[in-house]
Amino acid sequence: MMKYLIILLDDTSISYCHYKNPKTERKLIGLQDLRAGILLAMKENLMVQFIYPDYILPQEYEEIIETTDHCKIMPAACCAGADIVVWDRWENPGNWNMDQNKIYVLRTKKEDLFSHYVEVGKMLIHVARLNIILTDVETFTETDFDKYKSVLTELVFQLKDFYNEKIPPQLNLLTDRIMLDSMNNCNAGWESITLAPDGKFYACPAFYLSSDGYSIGDLNNGLDIRNSQLYSLSHAPLCRHCDAYQCKRCVWLNRKMTLEVNTPSHEQCVTAHLERNASRKLLQEIRKSGCLLQGREITEIDYLDPFDVRKKY
């Protein structure tokens, strides 16, 4: 069932996930299409998320945007009024002018994370929540997996200090899995769709911005999602049995790496399970500090890729 409508306001709207936006030429969504998208969301009771570019929109756009309940996702360079702020580089947190009431997304390459992870704790002091997104997860090697495991272990002890001070942090890589009882994935194409500046619908922004992407309908003719069930968790043979509940289960990465929207790559699975296991370690550590979190349990497993134990399903 659809829950969200993502509206890309411009071809250069900020990326907030794994995909890269290669477009540099500004192209705003048409005012008529913007109104039509909002009307659709109202009729279907969809929550609207507006994805902003790095410049101030014309006043008439803002007036239309304010006619509906929504969430604003904006780049740090132009984030007045943002609900979620996106960064795509590491800088001294003291220079970020961060707001403790806002959610921040940090898009980073693996090597940058491996080099700067010590800064995470400094960031968490200043934000309501921090989401770290790896933009090159598909390039992970076995050596990278080892490095990532070590970084996550270091982050566990950074977060443990917050719990010792009775200040529970929110970091998607580690704290989400502790609080989840079931899959909480992106669900693009199943629970959310994207309206792009060309007036067409896409499973997510990545499918619009990729050279090999494809649309799933338009404003004039409605949605046309072929084999729509493949976007659902129930038709993802590996994922529906998995308990790395915090995994994004990115259908765009799935298609890019395995040519199937419902089949994840080895790289996506292993990074998600390394996060899962590190979350288990964090849970054990914070219980030593007196934070019991009753009812929260993460069992020990002996694999990192569900494909390796598929026969058990």
For 83-92, write each residue's pLDDT tens digit: 999 998 887 6
Average pLDDT, whole number, for the chain? 94
- Residue at 179: amino acid letter: M
Residue 66, domain member (yes or no) = yes
Residue 23, domain member (yes or no) = yes
The answer to whether 252 and 207 have CB atoms below 8 angstroms apart is: yes
Alpha carbon of 24 to those of 49, 54, 89: distances in Å? 22, 11, 18
Q: Write out the residue range of the structural domain in which residue 11 sits.
A: 1-80+188-227
Taking Cα atoms as reference points, which of 276, 262, 280 lies closest to residue 305? 276
The answer to whether 268 and 305 have CB atoms below 8 angstroms apart is: no
Is the pLDDT reported for residue 306 higher than 70? Answer: yes
Is the pLDDT reported for residue 155 higher than 70? Answer: yes
The answer to whether 116 and 89 have CB atoms below 8 angstroms apart is: no
Higher-confidence residue of 165 and 242: namely 242
The pLDDT value given to residue 93: 53
pLDDT interval class at 283 (50, 70, 90):
very high
The answer to whether 123 and 130 have CB atoms below 8 angstroms apart is: yes
Percent of the chain with pLDDT over 90: 85
What is the tally of structural domains in the chain?
1
- ∠ CA 23-28-33 to the nearest 5 degrees? 125
Is the pLDDT reported for residue 182 higher than 80? Answer: yes
Q: Alpha helix locations (H) across 14-58?
A: 31-44
Residue 194, domain member (yes or no) = yes
Residue 85, domain member (yes or no) = no
Residue 157, domain member (yes or no) = no
Residue 253, domain member (yes or no) = no
- Residue at 310: amino acid letter: R
Instruction: Tell the burial category of 267 from Cβ atoms under 10 Å away from its Cβ (0-12, 13-18, 19+).
Output: buried
Is the pLDDT reported for residue 50 higher than 90? Answer: yes
Residue 110, domain member (yes or no) = no
For 90-119, write each residue's pLDDT tens digit: 876 556 678 899 999 999 999 999 999 999
Residue 138, domain member (yes or no) = no
